Structure 1
């Protein structure tokens, strides 16, 4: 496939090595939550208390209930008030720098589009480029270098959050065929192919923005996962998805198609992030741009008919079970959004994710807010500038929930 525009090398933000101090050597209790994860076979919590290093969560109707603490006395002003308007002084600091044994079926009416001039006719909206009008033209994420770099940074943060794991599903070491749906920059597929050189890895996406120099056992195809899949039945050992929130109208249909294409006994895993910026100490409070971010995105998702509140509604575990997957396991993690945790690893996760946000915030917001909510671009920039200002203030201890869910396809005769 063609190189990504500009062909530039992705970078990872360096992180200071000093260990921050906090009570009990962990995350400072006054600054927010310790890293925690929960694992459930269903969406309800087990009766037993949390394991060491874990925190129990309460779920209601597939989501979770929480109470926001009162805002601290020195909280920043409402982002729409003049005291919070940083636009005149704000300056963005961006660096602009076949295998014959194909998994595709024989049906000529394939939804996989061949690379052609029309695929490369990207749309430009308010200075950002988006995939062509072929397929799902409502997809809201840009495909330019700035956004791809943000995605690569988030990939490193996600992998570090999972303790240097690319996935959690218990797939065998001799895995043979793997599909990465919505591969984006292709970085997950490339890392997987490097780790499992015997596996054939296919990454699909709406745009051919993946690099040209890749391991011999990985290939990328232009495809729209919301259309009918034409991969042969029972062909993949593992299907991986990540951050499809806001992209899917019918999640149950997506998982049913994946079920059809997975071998008996094979696995599916979906890694989804909440767009809600949370805090446990009330530092992210009403009136702040960070507080409003999730509400704004949820509204845009409702207008598109493609939900953004995938984590809150428990869409993934419910959808996997409805498709027929068994042994469904859900784990939730707090993803720090800045380098506030005392824990060294989580502080690095937060530092990388903060850098990713600096690169990617505009791309996340510009299409959705101008095209779906009809905001003026200047209003979008005001929101983004205020969020950046709040994240740099050192008064916040923000995080977003990450949900990793995997399930297994039944064996024959099981």
Structure 2
């Protein structure tokens, strides 16, 4: 962990079943399930149906592959840890907001068998066979939460950039629903690639970051969450707020073995993810044509494979505690 903020060196040696038998209940359940599963398609990608349009990313197989790769990158970054908060091993009730494929919630439940883990998301893309102490719910975290206040021992959030219009309200909800003395942990990434040697200057990477930030602003849900999470968490009332920043290479160019491995998987994640990260935002909110986006993505893919560009993205882990006494 000590290497997280140092200048990165380049390795130059490498160029659920029915509720019952009642027909009306079954009909209602079928109707609800149909509305959640009736996915819309746009520009060749599949998107969530529940609260359609609330999130910019697709939920198809390619998107799930990207999320799984991203989870592995986080795993490497944190040396196999699922969190950094100083929570007890026998933690009880856990909420994973924006669970995606559910992989974090599943692994947490597997390693903490005494915990009850709830994963929420707009898309029902989680697997059916999961540990008995985890279950998934279709929910929009921007709505008023239905859970009892002061009921969770740990709330985990990852990759909600571009998902929340009112972050202050979101943090107030997390604060209200945590037990006193319990932690909120948030993990976010920057979509602005950087370099320590200036190799990203004047390249497609600079353009990529500027365009995506503009698109997020047009969408009304900022992509600058990485830089704002700590301050907003403090403003919501959390104490002992800690922030850890990491540099994650995009590509296997780093000299350090751990960073090189992170870079290899992060490159795969970017190649799988760039279309989903940009297609809806650019076509719907910046009014680009699909053809314009495809040309743009071709330039980006070329940049991703340029060995002379030593790009990395920042990732941040921020965690804070709800005071024992208000």
- Normalized against structure 1, the TM-score is what? 0.71
Equivalent residue number for residue 392 of structure 1: 305
Alpha-carbon shift at residue 204 of structure 1 (Å) = 0.1
Q: 1:404 aligns with which of 303, 308, 317?
A: 317
Separation of aligned partners in 2, 1:360 and 1:323:
32
Q: Which runs of 4+ in 1 moved over 3 A?
A: none
Q: 1:319 aligns with which of 225, 229, 232?
A: 232
What are the equivalent positions in structure 2 for 1:315-354 lying under 5 Å apart? 315-354=228-267
**1:117-157 alpha-carbon deviations (Å, 9 max, x no partner):** 1011111000000001x326231000001000110001000
Separation of aligned partners in 2, 1:135 and 1:366:
19
Alpha-carbon shift at residue 403 of structure 1 (Å) = 1.3
Q: How many aligned positions are there?
A: 303
Alpha-carbon shift at residue 115 of structure 1 (Å) = 5.0
Q: Does the residue aligned with 1:368 lie in a helix, a strand or coil?
A: helix
Alpha-carbon shift at residue 230 of structure 1 (Å) = 1.1
**Contact kept in structure 2, 1:325 and 1:410, CA below 8 Å:** yes
Unpaired stretches in structure 1, ≥5 consecutive residues: 1-33, 38-53, 56-97, 99-113
Q: 1:170 aligns with which of 86, 103, 106?
A: 86
Q: Does the residue aligned with 2:84 lie in a helix, a strand or coil?
A: coil
| Structure with higher helix content | 2
Separation of aligned partners in 2, 1:152 and 1:393:
24
Equivalent residue number for residue 207 of structure 2: 292
Equivalent residue number for residue 202 of structure 1: 118
Equivalent residue number for residue 11 of structure 2: none
**Contact kept in structure 2, 1:129 and 1:144, CA below 8 Å:** yes
Q: What is the alpha-carbon root mean square deviation over aligned residues?
A: 1.5
1:120 and 2:88 matched = no
Equivalent residue number for residue 366 of structure 1: 279
* CA distance 1:191–1:115, change in 2 (3 Å): farther
**Contact kept in structure 2, 1:251 and 1:315, CA below 8 Å:** no
Equivalent residue number for residue 308 of structure 1: 223
Q: Does the residue aligned with 1:379 lie in a helix, a strand or coil?
A: helix
Separation of aligned partners in 2, 1:222 and 1:36:
35
Using CA pairs below 8 Å that are at least 6 residues apart, which structure has the higher relative contact order?
1
- Normalized against structure 2, the TM-score is what? 0.90
**Contact kept in structure 2, 1:300 and 1:372, CA below 8 Å:** yes
Larger radius of gyration: 1
1:277 and 2:277 matched = no
**1:3-56 alpha-carbon deviations (Å, 9 max, x no partner):** xxxxxxxxxxxxxxxxxxxxxxxxxxxxxxx9424xxxxxxxxxxxxxxxx57x
Equivalent residue number for residue 226 of structure 1: 142
